[in-house]
Amino acid sequence: MKEDKSLPLLTGDVLDDSVWLSFGELARICSLDAECLIAMVDEGVLEPRGMELQAWRFHPASITRVQVVLRLRRDLGVNLAGAALVLDLLDEIEGLQARLRHLNIED
Amino acid sequence: MEFKDYYKIMGVARDATQDEIKRAYRKLARKFHPDVSKEADAEQRFKELGEAYEVLKDPEKRAAYDRLGADWKAGQEFHPPPDWDTGFEFSGGGFTSGDAPFSDFFESLFGRRAGIYGGARRHEYRTRGEDHFARIQIDMEDAFHGGTRTVTLQAPETTRDGHVRLRQRSLKVRIPKGIMPGQQIRLRGQGGHGVNGPEGDLYLEVHFRPHPLYRVEGRDIYMDVPVTPTEAVLGAQITIPTPSGLVDLKIPPGSGARRKLRLKGKGLPGRPPGDLYAVLQIALPPADSEAARAAYRHLAEVIPFNPRRHMGGHDERR
């Protein structure tokens, strides 16, 4: 990764814990229609803050979760409930791997 | 152009039934799906698999591919025979996976899969460009100090004549100080082109390369610190290399292996900053001289110690 002087330097904004996305923003970023997004909330894939749809605010990590669900559906034919299960298991694996790293067992 | 052995990629015999091919695909797709797979080359394997399945699942394409003959070996230099596809008509089934164009080999045989991917259908009623996504890997030091990184991205692009090809572009991006693994950087206007509308945004999901010294969990940084038995038992003042430079660390007397010593605020910067944890590892001094061996024997005499007592065995022989 050499520095290229000819390229302009791009500065972006970090989607950290202070940036919570509205229903409309998340739908637009993921190119997803409202019904799909509501179904994901009903299934527990996404857990927005706020009581009703207009007040929903999504953690920026929701973007990645939505995309994993969409790819699993497209590539493996996994339905929403199955994808929710996969996401839970992936979270669990990640937690276990973090513990493994601390125990120095990995590799 | 290299010949691709689609049967080998899918791990099936050349006379496999369509059902066998389907089952093989399902199994391998689960194994190598980039979102679930832990294989290092999952992305590449999954792409190859999608291409192989695209041909073998379709009896027309499979028959055409089979006509090339069984003598080809994967990787061999390949030019399609001039009349290889006469008599075949492809009805063009739907594609199920992948965002990127298939290999040159595929395209030379079956043509480019133009117009099937890309945001065309969305552009009918949406004028804003699509948002694009990519993963980038950075070093922990970039996140700690902030920095710039040049990243090269590949994206499928539909050309004016309807072909899909990979376009490469490089971007120089500022890495904000204190960014954590898994967080995204949004670059406004760097996504897909809009049609009479604004450009889409580009989201870069940040991942850290493995570091020889440090492990990052959220904003906290963990590092293993080897100490001698003497330092661990009697306590010591040692110097350790942290991402912010050399730091003095006080080992309290009676510290055991795996004890975590926290250096508050020495993790990744932020509000609040993370902590740095030094995880003690006991390193044994080598007994590589007679004097050293004598010292170990002396230690055993002076300090009778059975570390296995809690295991309940009665080892009286020693």
Can you read off the two tokens belonging to residue B86? 């006469």
For residue B195, the model assigns a pLDDT of 76
Residues facing residue B248 across a β-bridge: B239
B186: nearest Cα among B136, B257, B253: B136
**Top-confidence residue, B156 or B228:** B228
For residue B76, the model assigns a pLDDT of 66
For residue B60, the model assigns a pLDDT of 84
What is the band of B243 on the pLDDT scale with cuts at 50, 70, 90? very high
Give B52's contacts (C-beta < 8 A, 6+ positions apart).
B4, B6, B7, B9, B10
What is the band of B44 on the pLDDT scale with cuts at 50, 70, 90? confident
On chain B, the residues whose CB falls within 8 A of the CB of A6 are none
| Residues belonging to chain A | 107
The reply to whether residue B131 touches residue A28, judged by beta carbons under 8 angstroms, is yes
**Top-confidence residue, B83 or B233:** B233
Say what percent of chain A tops pLDDT 70: 92
Q: How many CB atoms lie within 10 A of CB B125?
A: 6
For residue B247, the model assigns a pLDDT of 94
What is the band of B114 on the pLDDT scale with cuts at 50, 70, 90? very low
Question: CA B230 to CA B284: how far, in whole Å?
Answer: 10
ipTM of the complex: 0.80
Helix (H, G, I), strand (E, B) or coil at B126: coil
Q: Check if the beta carbon of residue B280 is closer than 8 Å to that of residue B251.
A: yes
For residue B97, the model assigns a pLDDT of 38
Q: How many CA atoms lie within 13 A of A58 on its CB side?
A: 26
What is the band of B100 on the pLDDT scale with cuts at 50, 70, 90? low
On chain B, the residues whose CB falls within 8 A of the CB of A72 are 33, 35-36
Q: Check if the beta carbon of residue B186 is closer than 8 Å to that of residue B168.
A: no
Q: What is the DSSP letter of B270?
A: S
- Among B36, B183, B224, the residue with its CB nearest the CB of A14 is B183
On chain A, the residues whose CB falls within 8 A of the CB of B34 are 71
Question: CA A22 to CA B34: how far, in whole Å?
Answer: 28
The reply to whether residue B184 touches residue A68, judged by beta carbons under 8 angstroms, is no
Question: CA B308 to CA B285: how far, in whole Å?
Answer: 21
**Top-confidence residue, B288 or B161:** B288
Say what percent of chain B tops pLDDT 70: 79
Helix (H, G, I), strand (E, B) or coil at B104: helix
User: CA-based angle B2:B41:B175, to the nearest 5?
Assistant: 115
On chain A, the residues whose CB falls within 8 A of the CB of B224 are 104
Q: What is the DSSP letter of B309?
A: G
Segment B209-239, tens digit of pLDDT: 889 999 998 899 999 999 999 999 999 999 9
On chain B, the residues whose CB falls within 8 A of the CB of A94 are none
| Residues belonging to chain B | 318
Chain B interface test: which of A7, A9, A10 (most B C-beta within 10 Å): A10
Chain A interface test: which of B37, B38, B172, B201 (most A C-beta within 10 Å): B172
B25-39 b/e (C-beta count within 10 Å ≥ 16 → b): beebbeebbbbbbee
B173: closest CA of chain A, how far (Å): 5
- The mean-pLDDT minimum among A26-40, B34-48, B251-265 falls in B34-48
Question: In Å, how far are B67, B145, B232, B282 from B249, measured between CA atoms?
Answer: 71, 22, 12, 16
The reply to whether residue A75 touches residue B29, judged by beta carbons under 8 angstroms, is yes
Q: What is the mean pLDDT of chain B?
A: 82
What is the band of B85 on the pLDDT scale with cuts at 50, 70, 90? very low
Q: pTM value? A: 0.70
Domain extents for chain A? 21-103
For residue B75, the model assigns a pLDDT of 65
For residue B315, the model assigns a pLDDT of 55
For the residues A5-26, what does the mean pLDDT come to?
A: 88
Chain A CA closest to residue B224: A102
The structural architecture, per CATH, of the domain A21-103 is: Orthogonal Bundle (1.10)
Chain B CA closest to residue A95: B217
Task: Name the pairing type of β-strands A9-10 and B164-175.
Answer: parallel
On chain B, the residues whose CB falls within 8 A of the CB of A8 are 172
Q: Which domains does chain B have, with CATH numbers?
A: 6-110 (1.10.287.110), 120-208 (2.60.260.20), 214-282 (2.60.260.20)
Burial class of B243 by CB neighbour count within 10 A (0 to 12, 13 to 18, 19+): buried
Chain A interface test: which of B25, B30, B33, B35 (most A C-beta within 10 Å): B35
On chain B, the residues whose CB falls within 8 A of the CB of A30 are 131
Question: In Å, how far are B122, B134, B165, B185, B238 from B202, measured between CA atoms?
Answer: 17, 8, 19, 8, 45
pLDDT at B80 over 90: no
Q: Check if the beta carbon of residue B190 is closer than 8 Å to that of residue B202.
A: yes
Can you read off the two tokens belonging to residue B306? 């059975």
The reply to whether residue A15 touches residue B35, judged by beta carbons under 8 angstroms, is no
What is the band of B63 on the pLDDT scale with cuts at 50, 70, 90? confident
Give B184's contacts (C-beta < 8 A, 6+ positions apart).
A14, A15, A60, A63, A64, B203, B204, B205, B206
pLDDT at B121 over 50: no
Interface of A with B (CB under 8 A): 1-4, 7-16, 28-31, 60-61, 63-64, 67-68, 71-72, 74-76, 86, 90, 98, 101-102, 104
- Among B98, B148, B186, the residue with its CB nearest the CB of A3 is B148
Question: CA A46 to CA A53: how far, in whole Å?
Answer: 13
Q: Is B232 left (phi over 0), alpha (psi -120 to 50) or beta?
A: alpha
